[in-house]
Chain A
Amino acid sequence: DAGVTQSPTHLIKTRGQHVTLRCSPISGHKSVSWYQQVLGQGPQFIFQYYEKEERGRGNFPDRFSARQFPNYSSELNVNALLLGDSALYLCASSLGTGTLNQPQHFGDGTRLSIL
């Protein structure tokens, strides 16, 4: 079975532009979470979606938004890009909303570079 897939793998943008990152969860997984990992740091939680509804939000500005589609895939959108948005963006999927007996499975991420 395919794991979590993210696209694109690498992306270069300039300040002020907009970006859309995409994530396809493992088949049967209904929950998708997004994380930002700045170089040398641990992942920072951005959003969690379950059954197309936002179930959790981290401390990120409104420039960050996301949505989940009926097929459970998800998009992360970032507007008005800043240099500090340069990071590895990770998507993780799980069966449900919690991690109790449902571990998160991570994709390999999208490396976003802002010039």
Chain B
Amino acid sequence: AQSVTQLDSQVPVFEEAPVELRCNYSSSVSVYLFWYVQYPNQGLQLLLKYLSGSTLVKGINGFEAEFNKSQTSFHLRKPSVHISDTAEYFCAVTRETGGFKTIFGAGTRLFVKA
């Protein structure tokens, strides 16, 4: 069975500071990993994805994530955040076999303060 754990429910940070949002997953089969962002009253927008290849993945809005297979982690980072980055961030995994199913974590609320 798959599961996704986002270790922090809320992350407050000052503007222009770096941030890391943590995600750990468990799965008995190969998976693909994603980060999505959700702004208030909106659907989810894909930030970045890891399918294979380089373990460092760059996404939109200056975000990047690193896949670590031995630690089963896929942490999201940004070197300098903006007020506009305030949103809910979701880590998700999709399994490779047995049909199509995406599992989302519970989300991390990033709050950027001036």
A99 touches B104 (CB 8 A): no
Which among B36-44, B62-70, B79-87 touches the partner chain? B36-44
Main secondary structure of the interface of A (DSSP, over half): loop
Give the number of residue pairs across the A-B interface with Cβ within 8 Å.
68
**Would you give the 0/1 interface string for B25-59, flagging 1 where the beta carbon is closer than 8 Å to chain A?**
00000001010100001111110010100000000
Q: Which residues of B contact A31 (CB under 8 A)?
A: 100
B106 touches A42 (CB 8 A): yes
Main secondary structure of the interface of B (DSSP, over half): strand
B44 touches A106 (CB 8 A): yes
CB distance from B54 to the nearest CB of A (A): 15
Q: Does A74 contact B (CB under 8 A)?
A: no
Contact partner of B106 (CB less than 8 A), chosen from A35, A41, A50, is: A41
Q: Which residues of A contact B46 (CB under 8 A)?
A: 103-105
B interface residue numbers (CB < 8 A to A): 4, 6, 32, 34, 36, 41-46, 49, 51, 90, 92, 94, 99-107
A interface residue numbers (CB < 8 A to B): 4, 31, 33, 35, 40-45, 48, 50, 55-56, 58, 90, 92, 97-101, 103-109
